[in-house]
Amino acid sequence: MDFEFSKEQRDIQRAAREFARGEFINIARECDINETFPLSLLKKAGDLGFLGVFIDEEYGGAGLGFLEHALILEEFWKVDPGLSQELCSVTFGAEEFLLFGTETQKTKYLPGVVRGEQIMGFAITEPDAGSDTASAMTSAVEDGNEYLINGSKVMIGNGSAADFLLVFCLTDPEGKSRSSRHSILVVETDRNGYEADKIQGKMGLRASDTANIFFSEVRVPKANLVGERGKGFFQLMQFFDRSRAYVAAHGVGLAQGALDLAIAHVKERRQFGRSISSFQATQFKIAEMATRIELARTLTHKACWLVDHNKVDTKIIAMAKWAAGRTAVEVVDEALQLHGGYGYMNDHDIERFYRAAKVLEIYEGTKEIEKLIIGRRILA
Ligand SMILES: Cc1cc2nc3c(=O)[nH]c(=O)nc-3n(C[C@H](O)[C@H](O)[C@H](O)COP(=O)(O)OP(=O)(O)OC[C@H]3O[C@@H](n4cnc5c(N)ncnc54)[C@H](O)[C@@H]3O)c2cc1C
């Protein structure tokens, strides 16, 4: 067993840290307040090779693993969750192409997102189909050489920014089981009948784009089917086995960033004539936070390592996602507490981290859904 990173992995970590510190710090608060994301940052990240490193070299990626992707995201999230969310989500769904796409689809859609010139996303959630993805009703009906899509999706990352989206559609309503009725289609967002309504006022991650989207008689060629018709649900579950592993890294990064802010503050702040870091209560808090983060980090790295070694373990991945999300929420709460009233003000970064954390227990599978997955696998 070897817990050491390779030189290449340490170099990637260092480069990601330097990029995030150099590029995020000066703009993060403003982007959060204005709910904007500078496309120049996306292009820079693409030029430096930080986007979708798990994508094969022949499609423009670095041909690395989900562990390296997670290391980059951890470093990004330590500095600012909102900008990091957008930089992660521009390749969100690329895994589906790698696992199930045709050669033509991979060549057409992947290189642009890796370069930071195109943006994608994955539209699954609907008003009446959240955790219960198999209830999705957005329909795709075969019509000659095309699919005709009607319906709506909610809370979709990059819904109003994407060039194209993967859309989880109901193609076979009479399918034998609830899990054999759906398919995944690519929809270019400049097609007639596509509309997006950007959501303003999210609790956190405000630099990232989230939108409700609508399909009214949207036509796509049959060649836009990704994978097999009627197998969309199984393909989606395999996607979650990858995405949840690195979304756990969001939680680890956010928690570490919050701890770093708390450490800086308690060393600086004096009360009762001494540094508040000298109080044993403070030291206990710091010790507990650091230990929790290390636990979540170890589990996250293990989950990614298993994926990279073709040993996908849905239970470990769900554990990592749940543990890292919980760690982020608990750590950022204590980190803000250590800031006292200053932490409640938006001129202190911890306020932004605090608002960002909660979603880590909601998207990519709520904490309850992760625990269902874990419990069922243990008891099966
Ligand atoms: C910022 C943000 C970005 C997002 N980005 C995307 C995106 O890019 N693409 C996309 O498709 N979606 C996206 N989503 C949607 C997200 O995936 C859903 O919000 C999430 O899956 C939960 O669905 P829901 O909100 O409908 O909650 P519900 O499913 O209605 O759940 C409500 C509560 O009930 C609980 N619950 C539900 N079923 C069970 C059960 N069987 N057992 C126990 N408890 C249960 C849940 O755990 C939760 O606590 C995003 C959401 C947010 C907030």
pLDDT in tens, 327-378: 999 999 999 999 999 999 999 999 999 999 999 999 999 999 999 999 999 9
Tell me the sheet residues that pair with 165. Answer: 121, 187
> How far does the centroid of ligand 1 lie from the alpha carbon of residue 95, in Å?
21
How many beta carbons lie within 10 A of that of residue 340, not counting itself? 12
Tokens 């939108």, residue?
Answer: 211
pLDDT tens across the length of the chain (380 residues)? 889 999 999 999 999 999 999 999 999 999 999 999 999 999 999 999 999 999 999 999 999 999 999 999 999 999 999 999 999 999 999 999 999 999 999 999 999 999 999 999 999 999 999 999 999 999 999 999 999 999 999 999 999 999 999 999 999 999 999 999 999 999 999 999 999 999 999 999 999 999 999 999 999 999 999 999 999 999 999 999 999 999 999 999 999 999 999 999 999 999 999 999 999 999 999 999 999 999 999 999 999 999 999 999 999 999 999 999 999 999 999 999 999 999 999 999 999 999 999 999 999 999 999 999 999 999 99
Using most ligand atoms within 8 A of CB, pick from 360, 361, 366 the residue to mutate for ligand 1: 366
> Domain for residue 1, yes or no?
no
Range of the domain at 335: 234-379
Distance CA 58, CA 179 (A): 33
Q: Is residue 32 assigned to a domain?
A: yes
From 114, 148, 175, the end of a domain falls on 114
**What one-letter code names the amino acid at 104?**
T
Q: Which of 99, 114, 129 is the last residue of a domain?
A: 114
Instruction: State the number of CA atoms in the 13 A half-sphere of 169 facing the CB.
Output: 29
* pLDDT tens-digit readout, 145-155: 999 999 999 99
Greatest alpha-carbon pair distance for the chain in Å reads: 79
Which CATH number fits the domain that encloses residue 245?
1.20.140.10
Domain count, the chain: 3
In a shared domain, residues 155 and 82:
no
* Same structural domain, 85 and 205: no
Q: How many CA atoms lie within 13 A of 275 on its CB side?
A: 10
The alpha carbon of 131 and the centre of ligand 1 are apart by a number of angstroms equal to 5
**Residues 240 and 192 placed together within one structural domain of the fold:** no
For the whole model, what pTM was predicted?
0.97
Given 74, 126, 364, 370, the catalytic residue: 364
- Looking at the fold, whether 303 and 358 belong to one and the same domain comes out as yes
54 with 167, same domain: the answer is no
* φ/ψ (deg, to 5) at 308: -65, -25
Q: Which residues of 243-280 are buried (b: 16+ CB within 10 A; e: fewer)?
A: bbbbbbbbbbbbbbbbbebbbebbeeeeeeeeebbeee
Say how many Å lie between the CA of residue 112 and the centre of ligand 1. Answer: 29
- Judge if 16 and 97 occupy the same domain: yes
- Joined together, the tokens standing for residue 169 give 């559609």
Amino acid at 181: R
The answer on 366 and 238 residing in a single domain is yes
Q: Is 364 a catalytic residue?
A: yes
Q: Are residues 249 and 130 in the same domain?
A: no
351 inside domain: yes
- Would 251 be classed as within a structural domain? yes
Residue that finishes a domain, picked among 198, 216, 231: 231
